[in-house]
């Protein structure tokens, strides 16, 4: 977790360097530099802050309990995000949504 925070800090601190690198350049060169630098830094920052599937599963505990209690009728956004993260980050065969909710509910 600390290494991801450090990487995020370094990526965001590089933004002023790209702006400084654009000094003395034509408007087209500055626009090209920003067109490349901003999406790369934004993607890196988003990936660094959302790539923790275990943390995402743990944060959906209350929503998983609501899903279990309603027999699958209540599907909150956080629980849906946890289900998607589970399917994206773990190989098949996958648990059913109810089994996943029960697994999330018993985690610490």
pLDDT tens digits, one per residue of 17-73: 555 555 667 777 777 766 776 776 676 666 555 556 667 777 788 899 999 999 999
pTM score of the predicted model:
0.50
User: Which is more confident, 50 or 92?
Assistant: 92
Q: Report yes or no: 24 and 65 within 8 Å, Cβ to Cβ.
A: no
* Per-residue pLDDT, 14: 59
């Amino acid at each position: 977790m600390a290494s991801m925070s450090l990487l995020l800090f370094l990526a965001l601190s590089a933004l002023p360097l790209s702006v400084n690198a654009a000094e003395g350049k034509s408007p087209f060169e500055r626009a090209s530099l920003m067109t490349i630098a901003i999406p790369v830094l934004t993607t890196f920052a988003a990936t660094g802050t959302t790539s923790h599937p275990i943390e995402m599963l743990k944060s959906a505990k209350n929503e998983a309990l609501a899903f279990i209690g309603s027999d699958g009728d209540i599907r909150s956004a956080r629980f849906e995000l946890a289900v998607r993260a589970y399917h994206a980050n773990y190989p098949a065969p996958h648990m059913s949504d109810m089994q996943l909710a029960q697994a999330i509910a018993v985690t610490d």
